[in-house]
Protein backbone atom coordinates (compact mmCIF):
# COMPACT_ATOMS: atom_id res chain seq x y z
CA UNK A 1 0.00 0.00 0.00
CA UNK A 2 1.02 3.62 -0.52
CA UNK A 3 0.01 6.48 1.79
CA UNK A 4 0.68 10.20 1.54
CA UNK A 5 1.48 11.62 4.97
CA UNK A 6 2.35 15.02 6.44
CA UNK A 7 1.40 16.89 3.26
CA UNK A 8 1.90 20.65 3.29
CA UNK A 9 1.88 23.43 0.76
CA UNK A 10 5.03 25.49 0.40
CA UNK A 11 4.08 27.84 -2.46
CA UNK A 12 0.59 28.54 -3.85
CA UNK A 13 0.53 31.10 -6.66
CA UNK A 14 -1.66 31.61 -9.71
CA UNK A 15 0.82 29.78 -11.98
CA UNK A 16 2.60 27.27 -9.72
CA UNK A 17 2.10 25.12 -6.62
CA UNK A 18 4.94 23.56 -4.60
CA UNK A 19 4.14 20.91 -1.99
CA UNK A 20 6.02 18.52 0.29
CA UNK A 21 4.86 15.20 1.70
CA UNK A 22 6.08 11.85 2.99
CA UNK A 23 5.31 8.89 0.72
CA UNK A 24 4.92 5.83 2.95
CA UNK A 25 4.97 2.39 1.27
CA UNK A 26 4.35 -0.98 2.88
CA UNK A 27 4.52 -4.44 1.38
CA UNK A 28 4.70 -7.93 2.86
CA UNK A 29 8.51 -7.67 2.99
CA UNK A 30 9.48 -3.98 3.36
CA UNK A 31 8.38 -0.60 4.70
CA UNK A 32 9.88 2.56 3.17
CA UNK A 33 9.40 6.31 3.48
CA UNK A 34 10.46 9.08 1.11
CA UNK A 35 10.32 12.84 1.60
CA UNK A 36 8.95 14.23 -1.67
CA UNK A 37 8.80 17.80 -2.98
CA UNK A 38 6.70 18.40 -6.08
CA UNK A 39 6.26 21.38 -8.40
CA UNK A 40 2.94 21.68 -10.25
CA UNK A 41 2.15 24.13 -13.03
CA UNK A 42 -1.47 25.31 -13.14
CA UNK A 43 -2.88 24.38 -16.57
CA UNK A 44 -6.57 24.84 -17.37
CA UNK A 45 -7.96 21.64 -18.84
CA UNK A 46 -5.26 19.42 -17.28
CA UNK A 47 -6.40 16.72 -14.83
CA UNK A 48 -7.14 18.50 -11.51
CA UNK A 49 -6.04 21.74 -13.21
CA UNK A 50 -2.31 21.05 -12.80
CA UNK A 51 0.61 19.44 -14.65
CA UNK A 52 3.54 17.81 -12.84
CA UNK A 53 6.72 19.76 -13.64
CA UNK A 54 9.19 17.98 -11.36
CA UNK A 55 9.40 15.83 -8.26
CA UNK A 56 12.35 15.23 -5.95
CA UNK A 57 12.38 12.26 -3.58
CA UNK A 58 14.77 11.58 -0.71
CA UNK A 59 14.76 8.20 1.00
CA UNK A 60 14.27 8.51 4.76
CA UNK A 61 16.29 6.14 6.96
CA UNK A 62 14.65 4.37 9.88
CA UNK A 63 14.09 6.80 12.77
CA UNK A 64 14.27 9.97 10.60
CA UNK A 65 11.92 12.93 11.15
CA UNK A 66 8.79 12.33 9.06
CA UNK A 67 7.03 15.64 9.59
CA UNK A 68 7.73 16.98 6.04
CA UNK A 69 9.19 20.21 7.44
Q: Dmax over Cα atoms in the chain, in whole Å?
A: 43
Q: What are phi and psi of 48, to 5 degrees?
A: 60, 15
Confidence (pLDDT) at 69 = 72
15: nearest Cα among 65, 67, 58, 50 = 50
Model pTM?
Answer: 0.84
Q: Which residue has the higher pLDDT, 44 or 62?
A: 44
Entry field: residues in the chain:
69
Q: Examine the pLDDT at 68 and tell me if it is beyond 90.
A: no
Q: Examine the pLDDT at 65 and tell me if it is beyond 90.
A: no
Dihedral (CA of 63, 61, 39, 1) sign:
negative
pLDDT > 70: percent of the chain: 100
Q: Examine the pLDDT at 39 and tell me if it is beyond 80.
A: yes
Alpha-carbon span 62 to 37, nearest angstrom:
19
Amino acid sequence: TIEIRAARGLVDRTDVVVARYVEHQESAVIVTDRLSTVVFERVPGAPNGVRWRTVHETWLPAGADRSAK
